[in-house]
Amino acid sequence: MPDASLQAQLSPPVSDLHRAMDEDPLSRILRDLRIVGVSYGCCRLSAPWGVNFPKDGTARLHFIIEGACWLRVEGQEPMRLDAGDAVLLPKGTTHCLSDTEHGRTTCISDMPVRPIGDRVYRLDGPAAATAVIACCNVRFREPCLNPLLELMPVVVSVAGARSDPTLPALLAAMADEVLDQKIGAATVLSRLADVVITRLIRAWVRDGGREAEGWMAAIHDPKIGRALAAIHQDPANDWSIEALARTAGLSRSMFAERFTRVLGLSPARYVARWRMYLASALLVEQGLSIAEVSGRLGYESGPAFSRAFKRHLGVSPGAMRLRAVGASAEMSAPA
């Protein structure tokens, strides 16, 4: 049995592990990629079959459990997907899945889906299944303002996310839940899908961002990435250039020049943009008042926050909330 000193070296204190995680800019920023409005489906399809998924503001994950199919996205060559393959469409681009390369399709909203739990459904073909597919759609909070989603490609595949060897095991676990249909499978499937989506995005960032420019390059820059992570973690702080430069371990002038060169906008502009991203979510999703939001994000007063909000987003905080309420009512109204 190892002595106490050796055991301490082998098993670092939990505080040290948390500190190591906090020092990883990517992990800290991924916390802000909030997944909301998730639903999951198990599709057992009989040839010939084809499903069209229109753009609806959600991202889509498809995992082929049995059989094979073709993925078609406008402007791209059809992609064959075999059992074990998974693809994420982070921007929710209109796309089709079908049993043949150019098969006819039906819109998913016109197909006979059957609810089997909270936000979980089944879609069964009329005959023995030739393909079994897990389909998940998720909504990212205010994706139009999230720089990570803006940079991602239309389609991200497991093969294109090479740095995470855990993904195949997670997908295999999803397949077991779908095929075995055990009690609680819907809940387990939803949890696994959340993890798979987050790890796919993280793996793509690690693999695809090494030669990128802008925000992605900033994440891979140890000093600028440290400043970005600090902004994301504490958006209400009075982030002067001097404070951010200290966080990055650079001089004021060197930090300002390097930040602006890599990201294409000044530190102050980035801080304001991130605050507006968070403000939109707090107003629309959590229903906080303008005074509460302005206080949380470090503004001196509600009017000061409202002026900044309208300057950056083109609408007042109140108008955005009313627009969101109207959109929600329209979506929930019967057809």
pLDDT tens for each residue of 140-154: 765 545 667 777 788
Q: What is the CATH number of domain 214-329?
A: 1.10.10.60
Inform me whether the pLDDT recorded for 93 exceeds 60. Answer: yes
Which backbone phi and psi does 93 adopt, to 5 degrees? -60, 145
Residues 45-63, mean pLDDT to the nearest whole number: 89
Condensed to tens digits (0 to 9), the pLDDT of residues 6-35 reads: 333 333 343 443 444 345 666 666 666 666
Residue 25 is which amino acid? P
Residues 307-330, mean pLDDT to the nearest whole number: 74
Inform me whether the pLDDT recorded for 334 exceeds 50. Answer: no
User: Residue 48: is the preceding peptide bond cis (ω within 30°)?
Assistant: yes
Residues 286-302, mean pLDDT to the nearest whole number: 87
pTM: 0.66
- Residue 302 tokens read as 């509600």
- The three-class DSSP label of residue 134 is strand
The yes-or-no answer to whether 32-208 and 214-329 have a common fold is no
Task: Give alpha helix (H) positions in 137-213.
Answer: 147-151, 167-180, 185-208
Q: What is the CATH number of domain 32-208?
A: 2.60.120.10
- The three-class DSSP label of residue 287 is coil
The residue ranges of DSSP E strands in the chain, in sequence order, are 35-45, 50-53, 59-66, 68-73, 79-82, 86-89, 95-98, 106-107, 114-117, 120-124, 131-140, 156-157
Condensed to tens digits (0 to 9), the pLDDT of residues 261-281 reads: 888 889 999 898 888 888 887
Sheet holding 50-53, edge to edge: 79-82, 68-73, 95-98, 50-53, 106-107
Strands 156-157 and 86-89, by their bridges, are: antiparallel
Highest mean pLDDT among 113-117, 250-254, 293-297: 250-254
Task: Give the whole-number percent of the chain exceeding pLDDT 90.
Answer: 18
Question: What are the boundaries of each domain within the chain?
Answer: 32-208, 214-329
Inform me whether the pLDDT recorded for 329 exceeds 80. Answer: no
CA 191 to chain centre: 14
Condensed to tens digits (0 to 9), the pLDDT of residues 82-92 reads: 988 889 998 88
Inform me whether the pLDDT recorded for 50 exceeds 70. Answer: yes
Condensed to tens digits (0 to 9), the pLDDT of residues 307-316 reads: 989 888 888 8
